[in-house]
Amino acid sequence: MPELPEVETVRRGLQPVMEGARIARVETRREALRFPLPERFAERLAGRRILSLGRRAKYLLAEIEGDLLLAMHLGMSGSFRIEGVEGSGAPVAGAAFHMARGEDRLHDHVLFHLEAPDARIVFNDPRRFGYMALIESGARDTHPHFRALGIEPTGNALSGEALAPRFKGKAAPLKATLLDQSIIAGLGNIYVCEALWRARLSPRRAAGTLVRIDGRPTQRLDSLALHIRETIADAIEAGGSTLRDYRQADGALGYFQHRFRVYDRENEPCLREGCRGIVQRIVQSGRSTFFCPVCQR
Partner DNA sequence: CAAGCGACCTGACGGC
Partner DNA sequence: TGCCGTCAGGTCGCTT
Active site residues: 2-3, 58, 287
In the complex, the smallest distance separating the C-beta of residue 43 from DNA, rounded to whole angstroms, is 25
The nearer residue to DNA, 46 or 176, going by C-beta atoms, is 176
Q: Give yes or no for residue 98 binding DNA (CB under 7 A).
A: yes
Q: In the set 13, 160, 188, 251, which binds DNA (CB under 7 A)?
A: 188
Q: In what order do the strands lie in the sheet with 119-124?
A: 22-28, 108-115, 119-124, 79-83
Q: In the set 15, 124, 154, 189, which binds DNA (CB under 7 A)?
A: 189
In the complex, the smallest distance separating the C-beta of residue 66 from DNA, rounded to whole angstroms, is 25
In the complex, the smallest distance separating the C-beta of residue 182 from DNA, rounded to whole angstroms, is 8
Q: In the set 90, 237, 285, 297, which binds DNA (CB under 7 A)?
A: 285
Among 19-27, 61-69, 187-195, 213-221, the segment contacting DNA (CB under 7 A): 187-195
Q: Give yes or no for residue 76 binding DNA (CB under 7 A).
A: yes
Residue window 218-247: x/- pattern of binding to DNA, with contact defined by CB under 7 A? ------------------------------
**HEC per residue, the chain:** CCCHHHHHHHHHHHHHHHCCCEEEEEEECCCECCCECCCCHHHHHCCCEEEEEEEECCEEEEEECCCEEEEEECCCCCEEEEECCCCCCCCCHHHCCCCCCCCCHHHEEEEEEEECCCEEEEEECCCCCCEEEEEEHHHHHHCHHHHCCCECCCCCCCCHHHHHHHHCCCCCEHHHHHHCCCCECCCCHHHHHHHHHHCCCCCCCEHHHHECCCCCECHHHHHHHHHHHHHHHHHHHHHHHHHHHHHHHCCCCCCCHHHCCCCCCCCCECCCCCCCCECEEEEECCEEEEECCCCCC
Q: Give yes or no for residue 126 binding DNA (CB under 7 A).
A: yes
Dihedral angle at the C-alpha atoms of 291, 295, 296, 297, nearest 10 degrees? 140
| Per-residue burial over 119-143, b = 16 or more CB atoms within 10 Å of its CB, e = otherwise | bbbbbbbbebebbbbbbeeeeeeee
Q: Which of residues 100-119 bind DNA (CB under 7 A)?
A: 101, 106-107
Q: Give yes or no for residue 288 binding DNA (CB under 7 A).
A: yes
Q: In the set 54, 140, 287, 293, which binds DNA (CB under 7 A)?
A: 287
Q: Give yes or no for residue 190 binding DNA (CB under 7 A).
A: yes
The nearer residue to DNA, 21 or 184, going by C-beta atoms, is 184
Round to the nearest angstrom and report the end-to-end CA distance of the chain. Answer: 27
Q: In the set 68, 129, 157, 275, which binds DNA (CB under 7 A)?
A: 129
The nearer residue to DNA, 114 or 185, going by C-beta atoms, is 185
Q: Give yes or no for residue 155 binding DNA (CB under 7 A).
A: no
Q: In the set 2, 153, 203, 217, which binds DNA (CB under 7 A)?
A: 2
Q: How many residues bind DNA (CB under 7 A)?
A: 37
The nearer residue to DNA, 81 or 107, going by C-beta atoms, is 107
Q: Rule CB under 7 A: which residues touch DNA?
A: 1-3, 6, 34, 57-58, 73, 75-77, 97-98, 101, 106-107, 126-129, 145, 170-173, 176, 179, 181, 188-190, 254-255, 285-288
